[in-house]
Structure 1
């Protein structure tokens, strides 16, 4: 008889590699895309809200230029963990969207609830401490956020929901950063 336990263990490792961003430990873009499609379908069928937040670290290039890419990577890890800690339930998802951008999927979350979560994320990120990675206590970062919520067929597709959050994010950045804009 053939022992498959080693194969099962290797499969689980490979499955994890395929779903998780290797640097930050949160979901990767592929996992995000699958989650948004699944949650979109459920939201339409069950007539439940679906909120989506895009988060961009303000002036992250300056952080990397001033402190180096190794510390920049540690910053990304801290931000990812902070966002994950703010999620209200296990069916919510944070994913690395790209570079210094993150996305949050909040199933069954009306815009008012999503706004509270986004504000909590903003506050917690403003209070991240970087002394444990060798930076001065006065080093702080902020984020700009764009939020959109599907409810009662406001958007035609999940892609339109993402585009709305992206538009709101760019508005937050153009209005001075360290803000949340809702579309």
Structure 2
């Protein structure tokens, strides 16, 4: 990795004479650290050769003092661990991908119900501790069963994907969560968001779904795909359970449908 093929190439030469300056500068910095700490240090170092090949080393540096001359120095032991390191990185990446899949809806690629429940549980109790408003929205595609009956389930899946993409564009904050709650129902978690802020999100959802312009001949509300939204913004208190927030949003969603669909209903207890 360092371009050294024979041990004889090292005899009588300084380290900076046989390795690239960039690598030497990095090694020298860790030498100083080892001397300052007066104890061994261990780390993994990546060395790139001129042809672009990378080698990973398990490096141990131990400070020492030559009793005869009084000179301070560093003993370096470096072991090539490239094969093991790359295998571990590949395994870690695979585990991350599996974790991502376990929390994602396979069709729409938004969070799944499991992820929503875990996020809500974590955020709910955080907002109790911090006395902050947490907004929850349940969003249902209007007359979606009729859509499937009219256009077929394959086109229904395509519509779900398009609608989910709209939801992902609308919730821009990394702390927000949009999930497929079940079937044609989606759920939003908007941390530290009052009714006013959540209503703006809901209005953007309606606007962008309208602009999507997906034909829906089976709807009694519009000739295009629409959604109904139930919204609650609540400062949870000690003793309140996360399920209470979902129940209030569901009550508001039921009312939005009863009022004619393609609208947002705000739960009366919202702040």
Once residues 157 and 172 of structure 2 are traced to their aligned partners in structure 1, the CA distance between those partners, rounded to angstroms, is 25
- Return the index of the structure with the highest Cα Rg: 2
Q: Does 1:5 align with 2:101?
A: no
Q: What SS does structure 2 have at the residue aligned with 1:4?
A: helix
User: Which structure has greater strand proportion?
Assistant: 2
Name the structure 2 match of 1:82. 166
CA displacement at 1:153 relative to structure 2: 3.4
1:19 aligns with 103
Structure 1 counterpart of 2:252, from 153, 163, 168: 168
Q: How does 1:3-82 map to 2 (within 5 A)?
A: 3-82=87-166
Instruction: State the TM-score, normalized to the length of structure 2.
Output: 0.62
| Separation of aligned partners in 1, 2:265 and 2:126 | 25
Aligned residues: CA RMSD:
1.8
Structure 2: state its 5+ residue gaps: 1-80, 216-221
**What secondary structure is seen at the aligned counterpart in 1 of 2:212?**
coil
What displacement does 1:5 show?
2.4
Q: Structure 1 residues 64, 155: closer, same or farther in 2, change over 3 A?
A: farther
TM-score (normalizing by structure 1): 0.91
CA distances 1:122-163 after superposition (whole Å, capped 9, x unpaired): 1111221449xxxxxx96200011001112639822111110
Q: Partner residue of 1:134? A: none
Structure 1 residue 99: deviation in Å? 0.0
Aligned length: 177
User: What is the DSSP-based 3-state SS (H/G/I as helix, E as strand, rest coil) of the residue aligned with 2:174?
Assistant: coil
Aligned to 1:94: 178
Identify which of structures 1 and 2 has the higher relative contact order when contacts are C-alpha pairs closer than 8 Å and 6+ apart: 1
Instruction: Provide Cα deviations, 1:54-103, integer angstroms capped at 9, x if missing partner.
Output: 00000001111111111110100111110111114110010000000000
Structure 1 counterpart of 2:78: none
